[in-house]
Chains A and B, each alone.
Chain A
Amino acid sequence: MEPSPPGPVATADGTPPPTGAAARRRPARLWTALALVAGGLLLAGCQVPTFGIHRAVTRQGSDSVKLWQGFFISGSIVFIVVLILIVWAAVRYRRRSNDIPRQTQYHLAWEIAYTVLPVIIVLILFGFIFVTENNVDATPKPKMSVTVTGFQWGWRFHYTTGPAKTVTVIGVELQSPELVLPEHEAVRVYLRSHDVIHGFYLPAIEFSRYAQPGITNEFNLNLTKTGTFRGQCTQFCGIYHSIMRFRLKVVTPAQFTSWASAKRAAGSGTSVSTGRKSGTTSTGGGPAGSSPYTGSTTP
């Protein structure tokens, strides 16, 4: 969903905003309405600030953002309540006399309360987690797929189905190879690694997954917004981990098709940009006898 300016608009669940006159007459109604609006805002997810993260450009990421908003708000409430309790106890009960205070050690009702209440809270949180996670990890049949291979220290994007089939893009380090994908289409990503464990991370989609040797991870991306977004390896993978970057470029389906045909027209469809800055050396070589630039990529 596109972010829209916050304001007393009707929310996703159709709750009308409380009007001032009604609120004055019936305070109880006001609270109900406020609670509904707050809940609606939370569900809608768009009017609520993102609290430091990006508005995700995928359907999956948008779900994560909503979960984050809920967690941030509920976590803040818990934090503030407990913080006040701690500070209050420490300040209010500072030493004022030499008397020995009551030596209270047990208060069963409170102890039960503060055991049961957290259990309820975490079970509710778990419910939200469970639903969101199933959405994020769902992999319905995609229209196209791309195999992403991480290697020390770059990325290889090989399109396996769809308009760009057989196109391959490779780049290392600060060259930031570009993963071009169309919006509004389900894209399956097959993620693997050529050598050590890498992390495929795009802040703009609020998602990451390990690229691991010997293991192929699959996930779907449903991109909702065009633009170019920054990506980076997040799992420490050796000396040039810091600059193992890439980009995600989201284009319209029409642009994607023309990009793909241009790529395929230009030779074998593989665009390789190699060579790092002179003067840098690599410790720890890659596996002998194979190269990330070739290699079969059938998923």
Chain B
Amino acid sequence: MTDVIAPPAVAHAHEEEHGPSGLMKWITTTDHKVIGLSYIITSVVLFYIAGLLAMGIRVQLITPSGTFISFQQFNELFSMHGSIMLYLFAGPFAFGGLANYIVPLQVGAPDMAFPRLNALSYWLYLGGSIMMLMGFAVAGGAANFGWVAYAPLSTSTYTPGAGQDLWVMALVLTGFSAIFTGVNLVGTIFYLRAPGMTMFRMPIFTWNMLVTAILILIAFPVLTAALVMLFADRHFGTKIYEVVGCHMASGAPDAHACGSSVLWQNLFWFFGHPEVYILALPYFGMVTTILPVFSRKPVFGYKTLVFATMAIAALSTGVWAHHMFTTGTVLLPFFSLMTLLIAVPTGIKFFNWIGTMWRGQIVYKTPFLFCFGFLLGFLMGGVTGVILAAPPLDFFVHTTYFVVAHFHQVLFGSAVFAGFGGFYFWFPKMFGRMLNDRLGKVHFWLLFVGFWLTFMPQYIVGLRGMPRRVASYPADLGWQSWNIASTIGAFLIAASFAVMLVNLWVSWRYPVSAGDNPWDAHTLEWFTTSPPPHHNYMHLPMIRSERPTWDYNHPTSPSIGVHGARYATATPGRDGPSGNGHPPGGNGSGVHAGEASASRAEGASGGSGGGDAGGQPGAAGEPGGSGEPGGPGGEGAP
């Protein structure tokens, strides 16, 4: 099967890039790959900075009356830790970095739909990030009202400093950056797909990025508007959130002169809850991309996954007030039920991930391990999320360390486990060289142990009543030992990321060539060279399923299987060619499902033989010709 088409979009792809090189290339580029790398590098640097801030928090909490830093510094630390992690790392790393790099490749496009807008996104993001960090350099310090900036604490009466203003305007900039990236992703995915790539042949990662981009367009404008109003309250004397000086003599608020102290919360969480899924869905997409590759199967329940993603996105716009159960101003049953319902599509995803691994041939490479870590962490975070969805329970765990543990298990689980799983997975594509698998595993296990050791004690102290965002706590309540355990875990996490730096250095110093497709991966980006040429593709394979590269490399393996449909497995001599009535899947596949040979396609034109180069064996290795009977596929035939 050597069908290769040259779609119009890539007919005039440049063999090499014309234009400036070196630093000027990075500054002037509109290439989605260079911009994507800029995003990845910037956001990972910010991740390390925010991680260091977290270490400061943990060191302070070793003793009940911590003297490592002052209250003021502590408040700045947790505010900036949260702000950087959520606004400047987790989102931009996913939709600015990996999606920017990968989505055009996955849909077979030469670039993003609006390359200059893409560049603008990055520069707004970089400017906003620097602006937020500049808070540490101004008098009064950085923002110190938490990453949620609850009004009226965030009004100028209570937090008058320049650091707070920088924080507000930084988020306006990065908010626009996110909106532009959202527009770009939607445009790219809707209009620049390669011939043959119908919506239901898009890789799940692309699907998730499409849904994420739409959520960005729903959520981020609300945040930006809310921030502009906050800025007006801070500087122009409006009273939108401000409640000072507007009480009547009786003490009751004067409705004509008063702002609302819950308005900010409503606006913020209307952004903030979709934002949680803006942060999570890309990482779900990464997991859904990685698990099938290392299980050597298609993703289980592709269409249910797509619909589950859409359901999560739709529900996520109707659950914002579950952050406000204790305000006494929201309709509890409605938001409780909506929140519980999100557990359903999330549960579907879990079962799809398990089904993907089921009866696979799972290869324990670093990216798979990170996805495994994600599954366990997100499971714990998901179950505790259901607990938080119950208002009577939320009443007593709200704003305690229980919530801290919950959302770190969810967001750390996705942004760090799945995110760095994706990083290990796509690194060979981006740089043409491998990351060391053994060091990757050391990174994973340190991170895995550190993760559980850090956050499980936080559930316990939270249930015992330790509030979040406190720089000191009573000494006589037995909280200290749990906090020490948590801090030890945090140091393990820090050590794991030191290992990652070593790994990057090893890869830089002693490069191991990756080849085009070291993992025997499924999606289109693995069809081109590593790193891809300037406009990505010289030619494209036929796209007959969501796994064009797999189809190309395994021409005799059935593209898609439906339980109950009879077809041969890759094991010769079990079912035999007679075992199939029709090629399953109905994608117009030209693949002969009955052919029992699993021999690999000859590596035409930048094919996939490079995985074995340089002693870094590819994940899948050579599937062909082993001829061993009794593989799991054979015994599973109905």
Contacts and interface: CB of A to CB of B under 8 A. Distances in A.
Interface of A: 51-54, 61, 63-64, 67-68, 71-72, 75, 78-79, 82-83, 85-86, 89-90, 93-108, 110-111, 114-115, 118-119, 122, 125-126, 129-130, 132-133, 136-137, 152, 191, 193, 195-197, 199, 201, 203, 206-210, 212-215, 217-219, 230, 232-243, 245, 283-285, 287-290, 295-298
Contacts of B298: 103-105
Given A64-B396, A283-B72, A105 B302 contact: yes
B472 A243 contact: yes
A125 B344 contact: no
Interface residues of B, number: 125
Contacts of A99: 361, 569-571, 598, 623, 626, 628, 631-634
Contacts of A114: 347-348, 351
A58 to B, nearest CB: 11
A199 B253 CA distance: 20
A52 B395 CA distance: 16
Given A104-B300, A122-B343, A240-B71, A284 B159 contact: yes
By CB atoms of chain A within 10 A, which of B157, B348, B477 has the most?
A: B157
Given A75-B383, A96-B361, 4 more contacts: A95-B363, A98-B622, A101-B570, A215-B327
A199 B384 CA distance: 22
Given A104-B561, A236-B150, A64 B392 contact: yes
Interface in B292-324: 295-304
B258 A53 contact: no
A122 B387 CA distance: 11
A63 B7 CA distance: 65
A215 B386 contact: no
A130 to B, nearest CB: 6
A194 to B, nearest CB: 9
By CB atoms of chain A within 10 A, which of B249, B347, B585 has the most?
A: B347
Contact of B328 (A101, A210, A289): A210
B372 interface: yes
A150 to B, nearest CB: 12
Contacts of B626: 97-99
B472 A125 contact: no
Interface of B: 71-72, 74-75, 140, 144-146, 150, 152-153, 157-160, 243-247, 249-251, 253, 258-262, 295-304, 326-329, 332-333, 336-337, 340-341, 343-344, 347-348, 350-351, 353-355, 357-364, 372, 375-376, 379-380, 383-384, 386-387, 389-393, 395-396, 398-400, 459-460, 463-465, 467-474, 477, 554, 557-564, 569-571, 585, 598, 621-624, 626, 628, 631-634, 636-637
Contacts of B463: 51-53
Contacts of A232: 465, 467
B301 A111 contact: yes
Contacts of B375: 86
A298 B343 CA distance: 44
B301 A106 contact: yes
B297 A104 contact: yes
A242 B351 contact: no
B563 A106 contact: yes
